[in-house]
Structure 1
């Protein structure tokens, strides 16, 4: 996940002390193009949101944005998350450039920091609250992503767990809060909790091997679900509620599962 764990980064960690370091490869690799696609999806999500909000205001409509616009924005953020999973796998198989980790961090700030924060603020505005409280909650999301990425960059590679909720999952959690459309104060509290989880010491397993393919499958299903919901197909709203509840439940319960598993292993040892 973030940042891209390239083959060069692994080789650098295993290089004997005193060995001469080769100059980093500064040309874009295949994995870097996937990372740039991640950033582009985040930008397009913000652009689609601004266009939908402008059209909504020009038409004099009240209430939430149209489903098609919401589905487009969320779908783009899910594609960004899928590309974020893929770029790490491609970098490990084909090798990455010396810019890979830096590009990954910058892309993640756009797609999983600014885009979901802006999405939440726009939702609050459409709900009739243009005060500072939703802006503060959105700002907390953005700052949590920046701090988490900076902290992750300083950690040694190769660990089996993320410290703190990974940014893509944090972004998806903020999205689910918006889709559930709770009362404003409940939504702000949920987003602040998500922001805290991203910078907390809670541990989340890294999606490697089959887990990575499972995450990609869930994201693909999410994109299809958003398309069905946006087109107003039957049971779409019920599926959105179910999916949102599962995402939030996963985010909250997984750290406790990891902790219980470690304690069980220690007791057996």
Structure 2
């Protein structure tokens, strides 16, 4: 007897489910090879973008938005938090032999990251899934910035912990982030793929480029994104957004 969901899932849903699996593999690999785990998180981010493209091309399903948020919990909430925890633990030689202040701080910040990411994903699915912008830093962007920083060699423990802690607020903030135009998303996607495929090329150029693009979008786009002007022009010409 076939499972009851066979035939109800679309091609986009399959990619979404693969995204969740990548998140789990990244968690497992993190204790052995942090760089490889970071590459898997970045690959999951590409899958997260690809499922949206496939849904628009072939049509989505009613389960799609829920599967997407569930997969993102694995890949962009739990996996980045584990990466941060492993880096800080290894750098500071924090052990589980005793409950220390350092262990409590590291565990608390990473746990809070997961909690805020889950909160954002749930709120996004319920209230924020349409429109040309979203409130709060996307969990995908937070994971991308952390992954790119690791591949770029920026693994100073307290810096990674501070960035992780900052995202705890930014993911649930009221700051509005505009959706990327297709060409901008394409450019970032190419850099994203190169950071995964050849992270060590020319002094880690592509991870640094991805990190720069991610930080630029995060810090500048709420106020200076040119896409807003182009969308305004489209409204003037076509009469709707």
Query: TM-score scaled to structure 1, two decimals?
Result: 0.71
What's the counterpart of residue 165 of structure 1?
Answer: 137
Q: Which has the higher contact order (CA 8 A, sep 6+)?
A: 1
1:34 correspondence with 2:15: yes
Instruction: Say which of 124, 146, 150 aligns to 1:152.
Output: 124
Instruction: Say which of 90, 99, 102 aligns to 2:54.
Output: 90
Q: 1:248 to 1:212 in 2, by over 3 A?
A: closer
Tell me, in whole angstroms, the C-alpha distance in 2 between the residues paired with 1:240 and 1:159. Answer: 30
- Structure 1: gaps of 5 or more residues: 1-24, 53-68
What's the counterpart of residue 250 of structure 1?
Answer: 217
Q: 1:33 to 1:240 in 2, by over 3 A?
A: closer
Q: 1:165 to 1:26 in 2, by over 3 A?
A: farther
1:74 correspondence with 2:38: yes
Within-5 A mapping of 1:114-153: 114-130=78-94, 131-153=103-125
Tell me, in whole angstroms, the C-alpha distance in 1 between the residues paired with 2:174 and 2:165. Answer: 16
Say which SS state the counterpart of residue 162 (structure 1) adopts: strand
RMSD: 2.7
What's the counterpart of residue 49 of structure 1?
Answer: 30
Tell me, in whole angstroms, the C-alpha distance in 1 between the residues paired with 2:30 and 2:158. Answer: 22
What's the counterpart of residue 98 of structure 2?
Answer: none
Tell me, in whole angstroms, the C-alpha distance in 1 between the residues paired with 2:125 and 2:205. Answer: 39
What's the counterpart of residue 190 of structure 1?
Answer: 163
Q: How many residues align?
A: 217
Say which SS state the counterpart of residue 96 (structure 1) adopts: coil
Instruction: Say which of 178, 191, 212 aligns to 2:185.
Output: 212
- Structure 2: gaps of 5 or more residues: 1-5, 95-102, 233-241
Say which SS state the counterpart of residue 144 (structure 1) adopts: helix
Q: Is the 8 A contact 1:176 1:248 kept in 2?
A: no
Tell me, in whole angstroms, the C-alpha distance in 1 between the residues paired with 2:185 and 2:210. Answer: 19
Residue 90 of structure 1: how far off its partner (Å)? 0.9
Q: Is the 8 A contact 1:43 1:111 kept in 2?
A: yes
